[in-house]
Structure 1
């Protein structure tokens, strides 16, 4: 079975990391793979030279036969490749449905892979008729251990909440900032560490903080990391903090939640969408939602008219305070969470699912 794998591979996005891991799964299973790269300009930005050499070696591979075309990227650009015998699309979306423009194209594929039960439901209800298969996110556990160096941070507070996101309304950063500033003060000796992708987004955060009615002298510390980190520094950042929080309005999978749980951080997240596959009341702190709200004026217009969750600020404050006040209990829950997800979502089990779906076409 010869496979053409298309998507992003080189940048710091979770989809790129997923494709790197999927490439390794396919390669180690003995398939001959060529990759079609959607992010060539990012080739030398974040990865180690050895990783770059490994990935780029697949760009020029020749395929003796055109067996499987595997598209793993944004659904907006998904198109079948008629030169290949089998066409598989793997994509995700974070609202209560997928864009209408995706449906006709996805139905031209032989099958579609989704990351979560949430997407099984939203793709089906949107009109995707071809077979859907649940393949959890591709993840390399090796770099994510709570043991190891912690990133040095210029923070004096004794307790640090961490949040990792792109500055999009979907991520609920407005709710996070409001809840943190409402609930905590300088007397609590707690800080919120925000990891953004680039410095062009910091002004929005700073303006939101400045507009909060709490007096500046009483506000708890909020610290922004606004540049890309290499994978090893991401793990070190998790080690430097005490809990993870993200009141997202919708996720297809929720990669930062998963990473934080592997790092044995207590995790606070919204009780809706893709991450509830692996987050529950036993292993995390789920934030109630007020309901689903219609999206309008969104930074991504393709979402307008859809619905997503509106997390409760009051319950978010309660959950953050609960973790802050009950640190030993929260840490025990976090340790149990790592054991649970490591058993259910380890790379070997995910690789079995991938190989099974491909091999059925050989059979």
Structure 2
């Protein structure tokens, strides 16, 4: 059945990863000229951080004119899909979600199978969801789009000034504070690979989520960093950044590095769109848009290992008995060393990265795929 519009439920005002993804999907709907009504979740939590311009765009995009056969698209985690029921009659209900381990939480298959469709961003998640019991017939791979009008090589920016200044070459990692992000592994790998006298810096931009305080987050990260490297070679930012400040930070650094077992890896994708070289794990969501010719991939061990014990203890409903990739510090350091020393490779993969992201993941490309899935072509 052809749909006439979309009733979108998601954290569109949130500054974190889910909010970013929701807004990018909405840009894809806009590019595909699909009318959309926006029903925000967590409506006011980070509304000021995304910027007045973005707030106005969301308000102008949302319309009541979504026709008599709209579909409801719920973006988030399956346990939250039933928390906001559409105020209009819908023809279909679609969930948009992901997960970063070898399987999904125990109640997710049942919740997903109650929907008409489930959109996941990668073939990796198609496999993990179906292997966990989600009906493969309901699963669709719909990659995350990116706003290529904001992320493109050579775009103007205001350089972020550090005190003392960054060294001649700088790596950046952007992440929400969580033990699953592997910042301790990254810091250890960096310090193991690079001497404190080498002309290279590591910048950590941390999103401090609810439940944590910036000073507590800083204390944890300080415990990982040798005292003589903190704010001399390794820089930590816990202050909130808006969208433009984040782009300025991306542009002020030379390369991106992540050890996150990512469900997708949007910051890496954004850096690639800007024409910057990126390092990611050859496992999980990264494999959807990163490869050996547009990035540097860290090869994990052949055997998976149990998810971090802290996560299994603190969030057993999500992570108990789950497995994920095993990452060796020497391989992380080796990938960083390779980018640091090989300028020609940095330039080569950066050009390919920007080309691939712009031509495969723009809102117009993903919007066209969504139109097809909704039967609007």
Q: Same fold (TM over 0.5)?
A: yes
1:113 aligns with 2:119: yes
1:333 aligns with 2:335: no
The CA deviation string for residues 161-197 of structure 1, in whole angstroms up to 9 with x for no partner, is 1111112222211110001111112321211100001
Could you say which residue in structure 1 is the equivalent of 2:228?
216
Unaligned runs of 5+ in 2: 209-213
| 3-state SS, counterpart of residue 149 of structure 2 | helix
- For 1:126 and 1:324, the matched residues in 2 are separated by 40
The CA deviation string for residues 134-167 of structure 1, in whole angstroms up to 9 with x for no partner, is 1110321111123222322332411111111112
- For 2:356 and 2:26, the matched residues in 1 are separated by 26
Could you say which residue in structure 1 is the equivalent of 2:267?
256
Q: Aligned pair in 2 of structure 1 residues 189, 218: CA closer, same or farther (>3 Å)?
A: farther
Give the drift of 1:110: 0.8
The CA deviation string for residues 217-253 of structure 1, in whole angstroms up to 9 with x for no partner, is 79961101112211111111111111111112x2121
CA contact (8 A) 1:145 1:235 kept: no
- For 2:21 and 2:196, the matched residues in 1 are separated by 39
- For 1:40 and 1:20, the matched residues in 2 are separated by 13
Could you say which residue in structure 2 is the equivalent of 1:192?
202
- For 2:359 and 2:23, the matched residues in 1 are separated by 22
More divergent stretch after superposition (337-346 vs 88-97): 337-346
| 3-state SS, counterpart of residue 310 of structure 2 | coil
Give the TM-score taking structure 1 as reference length: 0.90
1:137 aligns with 2:153: no
CA contact (8 A) 1:160 1:241 kept: yes
More divergent stretch after superposition (275-284 vs 61-70): 61-70
Could you say which residue in structure 2 is the equivalent of 1:226?
238
1:122 aligns with 2:131: no
Could you say which residue in structure 2 is the equivalent of 1:15?
18
CA contact (8 A) 1:190 1:221 kept: yes
Give the drift of 1:75: 2.3
The CA deviation string for residues 244-277 of structure 1, in whole angstroms up to 9 with x for no partner, is 11112x2121111111111222211111111111
- RMSD, matched Cα: 2.3
Unaligned runs of 5+ in 1: none
User: Which structure 2 residues correspond to residues 297-312 of structure 1 after superposition, within 5 A?
Assistant: 297-298=310-311, 299-301=314-316, 302-312=318-328
Give the drift of 1:28: 5.0
Q: How many residues get paired?
A: 356
The CA deviation string for residues 69-115 of structure 1, in whole angstroms up to 9 with x for no partner, is 11011223123959422111111111111112011111011111110
1:73 to 58, 72, 76: 76
Could you say which residue in structure 2 is the equivalent of 1:204?
220
CA contact (8 A) 1:81 1:87 kept: no
1:342 aligns with 2:351: no
| 3-state SS, counterpart of residue 165 of structure 1 | strand
- For 1:251 and 1:338, the matched residues in 2 are separated by 20
1:100 aligns with 2:113: no
- For 1:108 and 1:22, the matched residues in 2 are separated by 23
1:278 to 289, 293, 310: 289
| 3-state SS, counterpart of residue 359 of structure 2 | helix
Q: Aligned pair in 2 of structure 1 residues 284, 21: CA closer, same or farther (>3 Å)?
A: closer
CA contact (8 A) 2:27 2:147 kept: no
Q: Aligned pair in 2 of structure 1 residues 187, 235: CA closer, same or farther (>3 Å)?
A: same
